[in-house]
């Protein structure tokens, strides 16, 4: 009887590009608004619900099948962030809750910035592209929080441009993973990976 270990190969698709695109595209469009180019409208709400919210949550659930705690936590958390943000905007219009004032939104954004900072620390064991995504996301949340606390329209506009950069970095990380897999080579670099999964770990897709 053979005592060789049975190795089960993971043949499922990488869900990370879906989650990164959900985050990236929605972040770009919201922050074009923050930069002052158009008002908050149904386009942003729809992107927040379906692309930033639902698509990221689906990606997070799929990441759990990859044994990727970081990806699961990130995508489900940020997917829930987008759904909660839409709820903050919509619930008062439906008469179901009082509108959040700038102080409340400041603490909301500050808390998400702290969570993002903790996740940013985790990216030091991942690739450079994700370090850029999470690093710029921390700055974005805290700029927006400062803008609410200080009632500064200028800071919010600056945050808008910085948020566009953050969204573009996530978009790049997603497209790089897709094209690199399709072409079977590093067409778009993601940067060095500090930690490579061992043979007993499922691949993270990052």
pLDDT in tens, 117-164: 999 999 999 999 999 999 999 999 999 999 999 999 999 999 999 999
* Chain centroid to CA 202: 21
Distance CA 80, CA 190 (A): 26
Question: What's residue 197's pLDDT?
Answer: 44
pLDDT higher than threshold 80 for residue 7: no
Task: Give Cβ neighbours of residue 28 (< 8 Å, ≥ 6 apart).
Answer: 163, 164, 167, 168, 171
Place of tokens 């009887």: 1
Q: Is there a contact between 161 and 35 (Cβ–Cβ < 8 Å)?
A: yes
Domain spans of the chain?
16-180
As given in the structure block, the two tokens for residue 90 are 């919509």
Question: What's residue 192's pLDDT?
Answer: 87
- Continuous H helices in 54-152: 56-65, 69-93, 102-122, 128-150
**Ramachandran sector of residue 95 (left: φ over 0; alpha: ψ -120 to 50; beta: rest):** left
Please tell me the total number of residues recorded for the chain in this structure.
Answer: 206
Distance CA 67, CA 29 (A): 31
Q: How confident is the model at residue 204 (pLDDT cuts 50, 70, 90)?
A: very low
Q: Which class is 16-180 in CATH?
A: mainly alpha
Question: What's residue 63's pLDDT?
Answer: 97
The mean pLDDT value of the chain amounts to 92
Please give the C-alpha separations between residue 5 and each of 8, 12, 41, 107, in angstroms, as whole numbers: 10, 21, 56, 51
The crossing angle, in degrees rounded to 10, of helices 128-150 and 102-122 is: 160
pLDDT in tens, 17-51: 999 999 999 999 999 999 999 999 999 999 999 99
pLDDT in tens, 59-111: 999 999 999 999 999 999 999 999 999 999 999 999 999 999 999 999 999 99
């Amino acid at each position: 009887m053979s005592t060789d270990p049975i190795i089960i190969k993971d043949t499922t698709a990488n869900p990370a590009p879906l989650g990164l695109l959900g985050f990236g595209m929605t972040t770009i469009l919201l922050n074009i608004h923050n930069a002052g180019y158009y008002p908050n409208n149904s386009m942003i709400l729809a992107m927040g619900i379906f692309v930033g919210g639902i698509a990221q949550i689906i990606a997070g659930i799929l990441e759990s099948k990859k044994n990727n705690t970081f990806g699961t936590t990130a995508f489900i958390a940020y997917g829930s962030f987008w759904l909660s943000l839409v709820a903050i905007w919509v619930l008062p219009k439906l008469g179901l809750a009082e509108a959040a004032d700038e102080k409340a939104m400041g603490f909301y954004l500050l808390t998400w910035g702290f969570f993002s900072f903790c996740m940013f620390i985790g990216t030091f064991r991942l690739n450079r592209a994700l370090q850029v995504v999470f690093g710029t996301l921390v700055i974005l949340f805290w700029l927006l929080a400062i803008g609410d606390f200080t009632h500064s329209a200028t800071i919010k506009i600056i945050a808008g441009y910085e948020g566009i950069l953050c969204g573009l970095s996530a978009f790049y990380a997603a497209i790089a993973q897709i094209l690199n897999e399709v072409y079977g080579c590093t067409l778009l670099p993601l940067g060095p990976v500090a930690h490579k999964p061992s043979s007993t770990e499922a691949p993270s897709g990052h």
